[in-house]
Structure 1
Amino acid sequence: MNKMNDTVLGKNELLKLLEEWHIPFLCEEHDAVLNMSESSMLTLSLSGARCKNLLLQDKNDHYFLVVTTATKSLDLAELAAALGSRRLSFASADKLFELLGIRTGSLSPLALVNDEAGRVRLVIDADLSDEESFLFHPLENNASVWLSRASLETFLRTIEHPADWLHACARQVA
């Protein structure tokens, strides 16, 4: 069961679902942030890996939510090869809203609760595999949710949206 009904969920509905599904989490409100640079300036009481979340697409309309470390610039050509794709590009804000019902700056694996059609493949960078907890936006960029690794895995299992853990190469700086 992904959602309560066929409507797109927002932050409050997501948090309610986490409670109903008995998935342990903590939530902290903060100023809205649009990118990792703004996020790094936030002082939060919650601690966990702050992750960069990117919605990528290929020419065949395959979509990938890629979660990586906060500071990594991905080598999209290498990542495309690892995903069995030819060329990756960033999906538009309109596509982000169409697929996941969220606005720019709010992307995280929690948005997959709105992907009942299963059109978005979740790829988590293996560089995050040793992290015990994560901070993700709960469908809005004015709050962060703390999830343990076990809580994240339970959430993904509950919405039937498994993650592929792959090594995502960093772009080489010349």
Structure 2
Amino acid sequence: MPKTPNELFAFLDQLGIKVKTVTHPPLFTVADSQSLRGEIAGGHTKNLFLKDKKDNFFLVTVEEESVVDLKTVHTLIGAASRVSFGKPEKLMEYLGLLPGAVSALGAINDTGNKVKIILDEHLMRHDIINVHPLTNEATTSIHRDDLVRFLSATGHEPEILAIATSGETVAE
């Protein structure tokens, strides 16, 4: 059974990680979340749940307006082949998340280490990074170093790579 946001917050608290969370109506897309700009400071994220042909799974977290070229990203993230979007069933199975609520904080549910976590270098230039706390009805602000510490505590050593450029995701 996937962890609840309250269980996530308790885990963060055990680690001594302080976060700030704002609740809001459900947000399903980057466009939806941009309505909160000005209210929530820091880097805002876009998350891509990807898989290669050998069923290796990746969560790529970039800045919300970044371009990720799905034709070539596999060469950067260590995939065995070109990647495609992972199915919602695997997203739920591995990260305990529904589409629209995808976040690096879902690593708390990946106890089998099935998903490789990739954080974009440009995103990590922000002191504060904003992510969904296992639900798209809230946004949690976390310090970038604390995000890495959280991921490490879940057994995921994130790779910080130059993945994206500004603009929109290229999905052909």
- Please report the TM-score for the alignment, with normalisation by the length of structure 1: 0.89
**Aligned 1:42-53 pairs, distance under 5 A:** 42-43=36-37, 45-53=39-47
Which amino acid in 2 is paired with 1:140?
T
CA contact (8 A) 1:28 1:44 kept: no
TM-aligned CA deviation for residue 20 of structure 1: 2.2
CA spacing shift, 1:117–1:29, aligned 2, 3 Å: same
Pairing partner for 1:30 from 24, 47, 61: 24
Find the partner of 1:73 among 62, 67, 70. 67
Paired letter, 1:16 = A
Q: Counterparts of 1:76-87 in structure 2 under 5 Å?
A: 76-85=70-79, 86-87=81-82
Provide the residue aligned with 1:128 in structure 2: 123
Q: Which runs of 5+ in 2 are unaligned?
A: none
Moved more, 132-141 or 96-105: 96-105
Secondary structure of the structure 2 residue equivalent to 1:147: strand
Amino acid at match of 2:29: N
Correspondent of 2:151 among 156, 160, 166? 156
User: Structure 1's 44 and 104: CA in aligned 2 closer, same or farther, altered over 3 A?
Assistant: farther
Q: 1:14 to 1:44 in 2, by over 3 A?
A: farther
Q: How much does 1:124 deviate?
A: 1.0
Among residues 113, 116, 119, which one is paired with 2:114 in the alignment?
119
The Cα offsets for residues 117-136 of structure 1, whole Å up to 9 and x where unpaired, read as 00000011112231111010
**3-state DSSP of counterpart to 1:141:** coil
Q: Give the number of equivalent residue pairs.
A: 166
SS in 1 for 2:156: coil
Query: How far 1:43 sits from its partner (Å)?
Result: 4.9
**Amino acid across the alignment from 1:8:** P
Q: Percent identity?
A: 30
C-alpha distance in structure 2 between counterparts of 1:129 and 1:21, whole Å:
20
Once residues 10 and 40 of structure 2 are traced to their aligned partners in structure 1, the CA distance between those partners, rounded to angstroms, is 19
Aligned mates of 1:84, 1:53 — CA distance in 2: 17
The separation in 2 between residues aligned to 1:36 and 1:55, in whole angstroms, is 15
Query: What pairs up with 1:6-25 in 2 under 5 angstroms?
Result: 7-25=1-19
**Further displaced range: 61-70 or 84-93:** 84-93
1:22 deviates by 1.3
The equivalences for 1:69-108 within 5 A come to: 69-85=63-79, 86-108=81-103
